[in-house]
Amino acid sequence: MIVNSKSDQMKLKTPVPMLLAFLFCALLSAQPKEQLIDIRVAPDHLDWTYNIGEEVEFTITVLKNNIPFKGIEIEYTIEPDSGWNSLGILDQGTIVLEDGSVKIKAKKFNKPGFLRCTATLEVDGREYYGYATAGFSPEKIVPTTTLPTDFEAFWKKNKEDLSKIPIDPKLTLLPEKCTDKVNVYQVELSNIQGKIYGILSIPKKTGKFPAILYVPGAGIRPYHGKISEAEEGFITLEIGIHGIPVTYEKSLYDNLFHGALREYWVLNLDDKDKAYYKRVYLGCVRAIDFLEGLDQFNGEHIGVTGGSQGGALSIVTAGLDDRVDYLAVFYPALADLTGFVHNRAGGWPQLFTDNQGNMSKKIETSKYFDVVNFARFIKVPGWYSWGYNDVICPPTSMFAAYNVITANKELKIVPETGHWTYPEQTESRNKWFFNKLR
């Protein structure tokens, strides 16, 4: 569905940013693009963060050619954080920007969470939009999901079952990817069901090295390995999660994504023993098994890192496997999946927004795979980063997971970012992560 006009937008009752984020982010990447007309929305606190009960005043500014665009009419909505869905609009209206800017005061927000102001404008038949999200005591957000009584027993048994399967590693040298400092291989490992594949990069120089497991964002794609990091003195393993080699042409993965593995994240969600992510989570443990057994591994330091689905898998792996020493996470998905059941934003893939058949069974199954419940068991230091403007992994859901972590943790919030990062965030992650592992 494409939104072609303001009238269509109002019929859908969902602000344009949420729709665009969903429609154009098949690989869950929403890096903003420069446009002729720039709509900027900002709260009146520098850190975009307020105490419960405080009022936020949003400033909406429209620029054309970097100059205030005066006398134009914009529409605005104010609503709670709701991902690409809608939990009800609290305020909306149309207003003329006489001087290219206007201030809109929102009503008091009386619970922990987030409030988003969206401004839309149509010029020459084209839609433009901007939005900003204010946080209210996000450190007080508590999960809606609960921990099943047999959660630990369930995963203990599954890890025991995995341990009975030989790793049976097969390494295929990829000469075209090797450098004068690093050997690069495709790796095949036996998993609880089928295989797991990845790209392994090992420094050529003599010695023992720390290891990093790179876990992927959502989707299906080829992988190329983290070679530059290996040149810095790390063993790196970048894995895929779908049990297929990771060096084929992209078209093959695209066909799978739109065919047999379409919406893989909800496959068998009504059965915890058959749910898709069971094999995925155990595959991450199997990757740690493999890294631990490498002759070049220093036997001391293993880290795991990723963003979105990869952020989720980083938390899951650290929660499942005490051999992980550090984790670094960007905007984790799969957190507090039951949020929408409680009229609150749930994490990607934003489940349970309508009657999806056998809802109660799916809700109960989701708890065995919810990032919140793995976050409860993290015991190692972690670095985390996301923004308040994320409509793919709503900030409400990410804080629900972060707030239950009792281990040492560091959170770098860059409020204006959505499902993307600034280079400074990556630099900050690398500095923290690499220094811990060395």
CATH number at residue 44: 2.60.40.1930
Alpha carbon distances (Å) from 356 to 39, 173, 249, 262, 370: 36, 45, 34, 16, 18
From first CA to last CA, the distance across the chain in angstroms is: 49
User: 79 vs 14, which has greater pLDDT?
Assistant: 79
The two beta strands, 382-386 and 297-308, are unpaired
* pLDDT at residue 13 is higher than 80: no
In a shared domain, residues 109 and 208: no
Of 138, 170, 192, the residue at which a domain comes to its end is 138
The count of domains in the chain is 2
Predicted local distance difference test score (pLDDT) of residue 58: 98
In a shared domain, residues 353 and 291: yes
In a shared domain, residues 258 and 396: yes
In a shared domain, residues 249 and 345: yes
Predicted local distance difference test score (pLDDT) of residue 99: 92
In a shared domain, residues 242 and 359: yes
* pLDDT at residue 413 is higher than 70: yes
The active-site residue, picked from 82, 190, 201, 308, is 308
Please classify residue 6 by burial: count the beta carbons closer than 10 Å to its beta carbon, then call 0-12 exposed, 13-18 middle and 19+ buried: middle
Question: Six-digit token pair at 98?
Answer: 């006489």
The two beta strands, 101-105 and 113-123, are unpaired
Average pLDDT value for residue range 186-205: 97
Peptide bond before residue 423 is cis, with ω within 30 degrees of 0: no
Coil/strand/helix, residue 383: strand
Is 121 inside any structural domain?
A: yes
Predicted local distance difference test score (pLDDT) of residue 30: 58
Type of residue at 363: I
pTM: 0.93
In a shared domain, residues 196 and 122: no
| Residue 370 bears catalytic tag | no
Is 229 inside any structural domain?
A: yes
In a shared domain, residues 168 and 233: yes
The active-site residue, picked from 242, 370, 390, 397, is 390
pLDDT tens readout for residues 393-404: 999 999 999 999
Question: Six-digit token pair at 166?
Answer: 């030989």
The DSSP letter of residue 3 is -
CA distance 394 to 388: 8
pLDDT tens readout for residues 103-138: 999 999 999 999 999 999 999 999 999 999 999 999
In a shared domain, residues 66 and 188: no
Of 105, 138, 171, the residue at which a domain comes to its end is 138
Type of residue at 266: V
Rg of the chain, C-alpha, whole Å: 23
| Residue 301 bears catalytic tag | no
| Residue 163 bears catalytic tag | no
In a shared domain, residues 93 and 192: no
By residue range, what is the domain housing residue 58?
Answer: 6-138
Residues 6+ apart with CB under 8 A from 194: 243, 279
Is 143 inside any structural domain?
A: no
Of 94, 113, 138, the residue at which a domain comes to its end is 138
Q: Could you tell me if 342 and 352 are in contact, meaning their C-beta atoms sit under 8 angstroms apart?
A: no
pLDDT tens readout for residues 362-396: 999 999 999 999 999 999 999 999 999 999 999 99
Is 145 inside any structural domain?
A: no
